[in-house]
Amino acid sequence: MTTEQKTVSNHVLIVGAGGFGRATASLARSDLACGVAWDVKGFLDNRVDLHNPSDLPILGDPLTYQVQEGDIFVCALGDPAAKRQYSANLRKQGANFIILRPDLTTGERVQLSPGGLFERKVSLGPDVQVGELVTILSTTIVGYDVQIGDYCQIASFVFIGGGARIGNDVVIHPHATILPGITIGDGAVVGAGSVVIRDVAPRTTVMGNPAKPFSFR
């Protein structure tokens, strides 16, 4: 009996070839879909001085790259503004940003949007809604009924209580705790280890326990 080799017709390009991009490449290669539904083709990055120790090549600049048949994309950039900037050209061409989720635990009726990147041991409770190009790093717990907007970056070991509302372009740093029912406004930043017990206004940075507004001087 002979076994026919299956042809993989889709090829993942990772936007961002830095350390996070290389970590994302490793995550993608560990996904059961890798080698079956798609393979990892390389990176898109425009930093001319970037050292790339990976065996995967840098195939172009995300600001000018022309999407080819079979290309699918993962965004490995942490800063929400960078996500918007470097995905814009690709999205205008109708690029398919896949959901990378090799070890994601979800409750019922969870809604995930294109471009989601979920590292290992992330848990989403029932009826959670996650926006486009959201990254949630390892060992983070998101409670029931939480809504997360587009382009957010949520770090490792974060807890988000049930019913919380996270706006667009929000950054939550490691070990932060968001209490149930809290609203985090668009563009806000929550510092590492913070405990958020009150709503956070848009474009505000909060730090501490309890978290309070903080400005860099």
35 is in an annotated binding site: no
The residues near 79 (Cβ < 8 Å, ≥ 6 apart) are 153, 171
Amino acid at 158: V
Please give the Cα distance from 111 to 130 (Å, whole number).
Answer: 6
Burial class (CB in 10 A: 0-12, 13-18, 19+), 139: middle
Beta bridge partners of 189: 171, 205
Q: What is the dihedral of CA 172, 51, 114, 134, to 10 degrees?
A: 0
In this structure, is the dihedral angle defined by the CA atoms of residues 76, 81, 86 and 87, taken in order, positive or negative? positive
Which residues are documented as binding site for substrate? 78
Which residues are documented as binding site? 78
